[in-house]
Amino acid sequence: MRTAYDVGKVRDAERVQMARLPEGTLMGRAAAGLAATCARLLGRVYGSRVVLLVGSGDNGGDALYAGERLARRGARVEAVLAGSRTHEGGLAALRAAGGRVSDASALARADLVIDGLVGIGGKGALREPYAGLARETRHVRATVVAVDVPSGVDAGTGQVEGEAVRADVTVTFGAHKTGLLVDPGAAHAGVVELVDIGLDLPDPDVVALQDEDVADLLPRPAPESDKYRRGVVGIAAGSHLFTGAAVLAVGGAVRGGAGMVRYLGPEEPIGLVRARWPEAVTTIDDPAKVGRVQAWVVGPGLGTGEESHRIAAALLKSDVPALIDADGITLASRDRALLRRTAPTLITPHAGELSRLLGVPRERIEARRLEHARRAAEELGVTVLLKGSTTLIAEVDRPVRVNPTGTPWLATGGTGDVLSGLAGALLAGGLSCYDAASAAAYLHGLAARRAATGAPAGLPYGESPISAEDVIARLPEAFRSLIP
């Protein structure tokens, strides 16, 4: 499991250590780790050209001391000083090792650029000349290494206002910062390497599950399992207008390991569901006629009219866990009472749907996804899976989980319906809303990546667009990659 911390917690832990250790110890450890990564990336340090972008704070100090270490190993190190002041000790050390101060023209000659403009002390959009330097790093042929966080990325939220460095590698100190795991920050960070500087940290604020964590969560049928024990999921999705949502959500549930899928909907989607998924048991329109289920999925393609509201309200009254998606979320944004349930509830909005639920503009949610996922969980009293370039799972008093799998090709119609069915199957299988959402997002992302790259058959040689059906088709492989 990868863990990440809010900036305040990192600062607190740093203060504790700084009080214990001789001055400069933490910065020394940080610079040593940074220099070691840079040396590895350079391959041959002697004779290489390294450019340091140095801001006025300690982030610049780290860059200068790392530059000193590289200069002592024979690198030609030039520092571009961007701030109104510069870390004095660091600059003196660099000079003593043979490094020199230069201007931005040095960037064109560099093999490696170290971005030490701002770290966790950065506030708001980068000002000049920092912004201009960050922009120039986009055009260099050199490898770009960010110190602690890419400058211009908010270390706590992942937000980027204005210009920001796009790093190939980010060397972060003490702990991953939450903004490194959440887009757009995550996309700017490249490969993130953690340097242990000996901080003592409490519970993380954000975590990213890895293969083994998800494998541990997945329910596996025991020899004595039958279809009821494995979990029956009810799916209320699709309408005369949106028949596809029904087929895709049922497909996600069937391939997601449900013991049985009960589908509730109008005649037309029922015909299609039966044709594609004969294993599903179908009921026309009347919620009272559906047999017992262990979890409900309510909403994909359901419609938002009165009849849809009546069905959603009847189903959500039940005392089993429920996943509410798509039209179900639109209905709930008009009638919040739908969310006041006795059993656990998971909602799976994208930013637009969450915008309707919270009454916050969509762009604000996109820019501060972490904050709004948390806020929704708190205000609505439900588990929230916020879809998007990084999918987040938030629940009160738990660290936010960031889904590390997926591909931009997933942004296509119908994939959300598959995710709902899949998460519903896991809910019915006994997972909590938090775990079902996390495992479903993970598997869904793995399946999509496999569909887009053609892996693992043969060597990866590119990517292609995918359909929601492709994601369903690759779910068995995604499971097998976790449960060998």
Ligand X SMILES: NC(=O)C1=CN([C@@H]2O[C@H](COP(=O)(O)OP(=O)(O)OC[C@H]3O[C@@H](n4cnc5c(N)ncnc54)[C@H](OP(=O)(O)O)[C@@H]3O)[C@@H](O)[C@H]2O)[C@@H](O)CC1
Q: Which residues are annotated as a binding site for (6S)-NADPHX?
A: 58-62, 119-125, 130, 148, 245, 301, 350, 417
Q: Which residues 146-175 are close enough to bind ligand X by CB under 6 A?
A: 147-148, 173
75 is an interface residue for ligand X by CB under 6 A = no
- Residue that is written with structure tokens 């490898």 in the block: 143
CA gap 421, 436 in Å, rounded = 11
DSSP 32-95: HHHHHHHHHHHS--TT-EEEEEE-SSHHHHHHHHHHHHHHHTT-EEEEEE-SSS--HHHHHHHH
Taking the complex as a whole, how short is the minimal distance between the CB of residue 30 and ligand X, in angstroms?
4
Binding mask 87-116 vs K ion (x if CB under 5 A, - otherwise)? ----------------------------x-
CA 292, 298, 302, 307 dihedral sign is positive
Neighbours of 228 (CB within 10 A): 12
Mask 132-171, x = binds K ion (CB under 5 A)?
--------------xx---x--------------------
**The token pair that represents 275 in the structure block:** 């044709």
Query: Residue 149 Cβ, how far from ligand X at the closest point, in Å?
Result: 7
Binding mask 172-211 for ligand X (x = CB under 6 A): -x-----------------------x--------------
Please answer whether residues 160 and 152 qualify as being in contact, where contact means their C-beta atoms are separated by less than 8 angstroms.
yes
Using CA atoms, how far apart are residues 287 and 310, in angstroms rounded to an integer? 10
Using the rule CB under 6 A, is 435 a contact of ligand X? Answer: no
Within its chain, how far is the Cα of 354 from the centroid? 17
Confirm or reject binding of residue 6 to ligand X (CB under 6 A).
no
| Dihedral angle computed from the Cα positions of residues 27, 29, 31 and 36, in that order, rounded to the nearest 10 degrees | -170
Judged by CB under 6 A, does residue 18 bind ligand X? yes
User: Does 7 engage in binding with ligand X (CB under 6 A)?
Assistant: no
* Nearer CB in complex with K ion: 80/472: 80
- Which residues are part of a known binding site? 58-62, 115, 119-125, 130, 148, 151, 245, 301, 350, 387-391, 416-417
CB atoms within 10 A of CB 459: 8
Site membership for ligand X, residue 55 (CB under 6 A): yes
Rounded alpha-carbon distances, angstroms, from residue 80 to 74, 137, 169, 359, 369:
19, 12, 20, 45, 34
Write out the binding residues for K(+): 59, 115, 151
Q: Is 129 in the site for ligand X (CB under 6 A)?
A: no
Choice from 6, 35, 62, 295 touching ligand X (CB under 6 A): 62
User: Which residue, among 367, 356, 354, has the nearest Cα to 394 in the 3D structure?
Assistant: 354
Q: Which is closer to ligand X, CB of 147 or CB of 425?
A: 147
Closest CA to 385 of 435, 336, 321: 435
Binding mask 77-96 for ligand X (x = CB under 6 A): -------x------------
Q: Which residues bind ligand X (CB under 6 A)?
A: 14, 18, 26-27, 30, 55-60, 62, 84, 118-127, 130, 147-148, 173, 197
Q: Which residues bind K ion (CB under 5 A)?
A: 115, 146-147, 151
